[in-house]
Structure 1
Amino acid sequence: MGRGSAGDTIRAGRRRHGWTQSDLAKRLNVSRSTVSRLEAGKQQARDVRTLHRAAEVLGLAPESLGVVGEAVTGAPSVMEDDPVRRRQLLTSLAVTAAASAVPGGLAAGTARAVTPGPDGALLDALRGLLLGTSLPPGAAPCTTAQARTLLGKATTAFHSCRYVDLSRDLPKLVVGMQQLAAADDDPHAYGLLAHAYTLTSRLLIKLDAVDLGLLAADRAHTFATGGSDPVLLGETARNKSILIRKAGWPDDAAAIALHAADQLTGTDPRSRSQRGLLLMSAGYTAARSRDAATLVDLTEQARRIADGLGDRLMLPTHGGGFGRSIVDLHLISGHTAVGNPTAALAVADRVKVKNLPTIERRARYLTDTAAAHAMLDQRTECIDTLLQAERIAPQEVRTRPAVRRMVGNLMVTGRISPDLRALSARLRLP
């Protein structure tokens, strides 16, 4: 997008409305600096969603900003096509499962590589599930009641950081739910399957397995459109947004999260809480681009929602829940990402670990706090905090690539204490 065309058109449209750049930024749910880049022709051309939104807000034809067709948003634009897509996907999954389960099937004569590292078995199991190359034996259709029970157990395992258990049980759960949904074209069955794929995508987010995570997140979103829960649909969009940010497309990631947040206009606490989670996710995406102003703005919007809910923890199965302490947890990681570890530690000081709802959230608080200490070269505090995290959630510390990188950097940047050497050995770092 060059100046003299779309940028001038946006500027002229803004001035015609009598708006400042900040006024337009608020209407687009972006930072003022993003509007400035748009008008100067410096915003990357792939940010089609923001251009579509700008055209809509300013009353312009999308073609006048150099974009055509429908904007790809976090939600499907033609809901009538969704039943067809869901049925086609279930049929495809069933065919793949049958082909890989018999001699001479998909994997016949093919040696499958084994992923090295402590998270290798987990990644192999999830890859086999998503690609249909190694499906779990013994998976059978389940009833709706059984599916709810199994999903509850899998969610508890995730929140307890028992990822080895998940590598064994989650593939069976997903295959069983696929068979349930195929046999019973019911919104509840689709909703359960969406939950299962959402849990799969959350696990892959932790493992930095972006390609597989996007595959799982897309399936979660597809099946969520067949359910009756807009909050679940928002959660699938949030996970997709996180993975797209990890893939290196922050503008697209923020647009998906903010679009999904805009769809949650209800006043019920669940809708408001999911909106808060989406706003926090978009804020963290801004932080990864070193946009501190947008991080603070979006996080404060989420905090106002949390304040309105009081001391309640909402949506415990969606990203670890939503509430005041969860807002602080996101702000710690956001300040660290934007390069302000001092601010991150100031927030961390006011968080009571016991108030965080799950082992997974407590471990995440500790590892994010350790990262802030590391940025300040506070080695002793960083190592002590990592050891606290390992005591409560050893699999979280030993499998997450981000934590392993942190420990690896400590091993090559300063004095190696006995505690650090022992931690590195337990993580099996080279």
Structure 2
Amino acid sequence: MDTSGIGRRVAYWRERRRLTQGDFGALMGKSRRWVQDLEGGQRQSDPRLSVLERAAEVLQVRLEVLLSDWAIGRAAECVDASELAEIRATLHRHDVITGVFQDDPEAVGLDSLRRNVAYGWTAFQASDYSPLGRVLPPLLLDANRAAAQAEGDAQRTAYALLSLTYQLTTAVATKFGDEALAWHAADRSVMAAERSGDCVAMAGATRHLCDAMFHRGDGAAAVDLATAVAGRLEADLVDRGEQGLSMLGMLYLKATIAAAHAEARAKVPDLLEAAEASAERLGADGNALWTAFGPTNVRIHRVSALVRLNDGADAVAAAAEIAVPAMSGLPRERRAHHLGDVARGLTLAGRREEAVSTLLEAEREAPEETHCRPRTKRLVEDLRLLGAGSAEGRLRGLAARCGLPA
């Protein structure tokens, strides 16, 4: 048994679970001094397996994560099931549901809340997912408390920030395959946006609800929702400049993917054309409110739609038309996500060795996106079943780094 570094790994996961040394000791049936000695390396030279198994249970990780730096490195990249459960529990709190906060501290200032929301979205776009599991529960509480306690224009601003917080929660839950949580958060984001009276917030919340809907199999309804809201809000969104045009374009892009998911092939070209019209009005790639919207994002959504329609060869051809400099200007999450779509297109086209190479490129771009995302891991599994020719060795290594069984 490799016992070196056990105390350091225990300390990492204790802090990630937001447990004090005293709390962890109490759950272990040990003293705070015992925890200090363990984390300081004094108690790990000959650890009892039963103690390590109990520590793994308390910390809600697999035993191997406490025994290997390689395992902790892989596990630490992702938002894990325990953190998703804590986010869900926060949404179920009575004060979050009712908006009645009794005997609670004063609401966080709107400037501070705005900075914290920006931090969360920036981390997401950088594929830096591991902090989000810890950040989102207190951020959800702060945003709900601010919306409940503010008044007048400040309250409308607070509700817009609350909607953005729920939208981030939806994006994280979708990324990690928790469709029920994504739906729940998206529904809350729409309600908060409506309370804000802000057309940009309404459009942003709707695009995430659309995302949650088609991931649950409601693609046709998602298309109807996105296009109806786009039609209702278009004039107001255009008047809002970069933010409004970006949200309008993203509504049409989400409708495009939902249509492809529902196999409504005939609707895809018109929806892409509508998104392209917003991109042309915008004039260049941008990242207003973390949308990464612009002409390049329209092109990568075309690739994604073709993949979902199982048109692998067409998807690969469409990807080849996207200029490399344009791709390099997008956030890491978008670039790695796109490479995953290209790898799927190559697989559909029977070019499996190239698909493995593309997944390895995605891994270099953003390891977290490749190792953590259920959709990408399913593609790795598919390639293992289909066979990857001369790329088999590289594929096995990638599968191991994704935590897939040998």
TM-score band, normalised by shorter chain: 0.7 to 0.9
Moved more, 268-277 or 252-261: 268-277
When residues 112 and 251 of structure 1 are mapped into structure 2, their CA distance, relative to the original with a 3 A threshold, is farther
Q: SS at the partner of 2:196?
A: coil
1:291 Cα deviation after fit = 2.5
Matches within 5 A, 1:351-430: 351-356=322-327, 357-414=330-387, 415=389, 417-430=392-405
Partner of 2:202: 233
Partner Cα distance (1:206, 1:147) in 2? 24
Is 1:184 paired with 2:159?
no
Distance 2:287 2:186 in 1: 22
Asked whether the equivalents of residues 353 and 362 of structure 1 are also in contact (C-alpha less than 8 Å), the reply is no
Task: Give the structure with the higher percent helix.
Answer: 2
Q: Distance in 1 between matches of 2:348 and 2:60?
A: 34
Amino acid at match of 1:129: T
Q: Any residues of structure 2 matched to 1:237-248 within 5 Å, and which?
A: 237-248=206-217
- 1:85 aligned partner: none
* Other-structure match for 1:149: 115
Match in the other structure for 1:257: 226
Does structure 2 conserve the Cα–Cα contact (< 8 Å) formed by 1:191 and 1:223? yes
Deviation sequence 1:66-88 (CA, Å, 0-9, x none): xxxxxxxxxxxxxxxxxxxxxxx
Shift of 1:121: 3.9
Aligned counterparts of 1:313 and 1:359: Cα–Cα separation in 2: 14
User: Which residue in 1 is equivalent to 2:253?
Assistant: 280
The residue number in structure 2 matching 1:17 is: none
Structure 2 CA distance, aligned partners of 1:153 and 1:394? 20
**2:90 alignment partner AA:** L
Counterpart contact for 1:316–1:322, Cα < 8 Å:
no
Matches within 5 A, 1:46-57: none
Instruction: Classify the secondary structure of the residue corresponding to 1:281.
Output: helix
Q: Does 1:123 align with 2:84?
A: yes
Judge conservation of contact 2:303–2:315 (CA < 8 Å) in 1.
Answer: yes
> Letter of the aligned partner of 2:398 in structure 1?
L
2:245 and 2:213 mapped to 1: Cα distance? 23
Task: Give how far 1:352 is off.
Answer: 3.0
Uncovered stretches (5+) of structure 2, i.e. residues with no partner: 1-56, 63-74, 97-103
Residue in 1 that maps onto 2:32: none
Q: How does 1:8-407 map to 2 (within 5 A)?
A: 119-132=80-93, 141-185=107-151, 186-266=155-235, 267-268=238-239, 269=241, 270-313=243-286, 315-317=288-290, 320-356=291-327, 357-407=330-380
Alpha carbons of 1:378 and 1:215: their partners in 2 closer, same or farther (altered >3 Å)?
same
Q: Aligned partners of 1:241, 1:113: CA distance in 2, in Å? A: 35
Cα shift at 1:366: 0.8
- 1:239 CA drift (Å): 1.0
CA distance in 1, matches of 2:187, 2:267: 27
Structure-1 separation of matches of 2:264 and 2:301: 15
Instruction: Give SS of 1:198's match.
Output: helix
Partner of residue 33, structure 2: none
Deviations 1:71-116 (Å, cap 9, x if unpaired)? xxxxxxxxxxxxxxxxxxxxxxxxxxxxxxxxxxxxxxxx999698
1:167-188 Cα distance to aligned partner (Å, 9 max, x none): 1112111111212222214111
Q: Are the aligned partners of 2:285 and 2:292 in contact in 1 as well (CA < 8 Å)?
A: no
Cα distance in structure 2, aligned partners of 1:425 and 1:132: 38
Return the letter of the residue paired with 2:108: C
- In 2, are the aligned partners of 1:122 and 1:164 still within 8 Å (CA)? no
* Deviation at residue 322 of structure 1 after TM alignment: 1.5
Note closer, same or farther for the CA distance 1:239–1:248 as it changes in structure 2 (3 Å cut).
Answer: same
Instruction: Name whichever of 225-234 and 122-131 sits farther off.
Output: 122-131
Percent identical:
30
1:417 counterpart SS class: helix
Contact 1:115 1:123 in 2 (8 A): no
Q: How many matched pairs? A: 315
Deviation of the 1:306 alpha carbon: 1.2
Q: Distance in 2 between matches of 1:275 and 1:213?
A: 21
Q: Which amino acid aligns with 1:358?
A: P
Q: Deviations over 1:249-303 (max 9, x none)?
A: 2221111111111122223333333222111211221112223221111101211
Matched residue type, 1:410 = L
RMSD: 2.5
Determine the structure 1 residue equivalent to 2:36.
none
1:142 is paired with a residue of what secondary structure? Answer: coil
Q: Which amino acid aligns with 2:145?
A: Q
The residue identity in structure 2 corresponding to 1:251 is A
Q: Which amino acid is the alignment partner of residue 423 of structure 1?
A: L
Per the alignment, do residues 122 and 428 of structure 1 end up closer, same or farther by CA in structure 2, a change over 3 Å counting?
A: same
Aligned to 1:79: none
CA distance in 1, matches of 2:254, 2:384: 31
Q: Distance in 2 between matches of 1:401 and 1:115?
A: 18
- 1-structure distance, mates of 2:228, 2:340: 30
